[in-house]
Structure formats: C-alpha cells, structure tokens
C-alpha cells in the first residue's frame, strides 16, 4: 500500500517561494503508469489541481498558475517537490500530494494527509 507524506514550511511570507516535498513509501516513484500530483484546497473551498510529474521528469501544470509553479522529481529519494513562486495570501491552502493511477488521466487513488501553508508576514 503506497503512502505519501508532505513536508515543508507551514508559513511563507508574501512574494517568497513556497516549497514542499512529498515522500513516497511502499512503492517506487519510478513505476509506470503513475503520475505524481500536487493539489491544493483553500480552507473551506474546493480542490484545485496544481500539476503533476512523471518519473522521467515530464511535468504538466495548471494554466491558471502560469510560470509560478515548478514540480520536480528525485527518484533516488523517492520524492517529488513543488515550488510556487511569488506567493500571495490567495495561495494560502492545504497542499496535498497524490498518485495519479491512470497515466495522468486524473485518477488520484492515493493521497497524502495534506499540509496547511499560510502566506502571511
């Protein structure tokens, strides 16, 4: 049973870069056909897909986030990471990592517990 765990700062100052890491255990991040995803949810609001990455490094992002977002993968550590630049209060949310089990088709069958990131000075 694969497990995912997010880690990173819970507080980020405005205009800075939000950085989170997801550690995958119980399975290899290099396995096909999995894509490794980031999703966020502002408190009391709905889900927003941020993007995902394949173990080869191919990454795809939500167009609404533009060039602010970068997802990377470290297969040697079985981890993938999220960087979101120039954050504002609107980026305050629970950030979750998840496994996409249908080749990037949006079948997120395993999730981390999520971590709250607050953007504030």
Which residue, 8 or 104, has its beta carbon nearer to another protein? 104
Residue 57 makes contact with another protein by CB under 8 A: no
Residue 96 makes contact with another protein by CB under 8 A: yes
Closest separation in Å from C-beta 27 to another protein:
16
Q: Are 1 and 24 in contact, with CB atoms under 8 Å apart?
A: no
User: What are the structure tokens assigned to 48, written together?
Assistant: 């927003």
* Contact set for another protein, span 10-39 (CB under 8 A): 37, 39
In total, the chain counts a number of residues equal to 121
Question: Side-chain half-sphere of 117: how many Cα atoms within 13 Å?
Answer: 30
Residue 5 to residues 14, 35, 90, 103, Cα–Cα distance (Å): 25, 16, 24, 21
Which residue, 27 or 104, has its beta carbon nearer to another protein? 104
Task: Write out the residues near another protein by the rule CB under 8 A.
Answer: 37, 39, 46-49, 52, 60-63, 96, 100-102, 104-109, 111-114
């Amino acid at each position: 049973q694969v497990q995912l765990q997010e880690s990173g700062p819970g507080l980020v100052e405005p205009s800075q870069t939000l950085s989170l890491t997801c550690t995958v255990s119980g399975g290899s991040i290099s396995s096909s056909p999995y894509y490794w995803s980031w999703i966020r949810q502002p408190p009391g609001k709905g889900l927003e897909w941020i993007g995902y990455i394949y173990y080869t490094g191919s990454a795809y992002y939500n167009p609404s986030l533009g060039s602010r977002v970068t997802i990377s993968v470290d297969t040697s550590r079985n981890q993938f990471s999220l960087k979101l630049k120039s954050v504002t209060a609107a980026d305050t949310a629970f950030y979750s990592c998840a496994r996409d089990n249908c080749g990037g088709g949006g079948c997120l069958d395993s999730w981390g517990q999520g971590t709250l990131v607050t953007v504030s000075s």
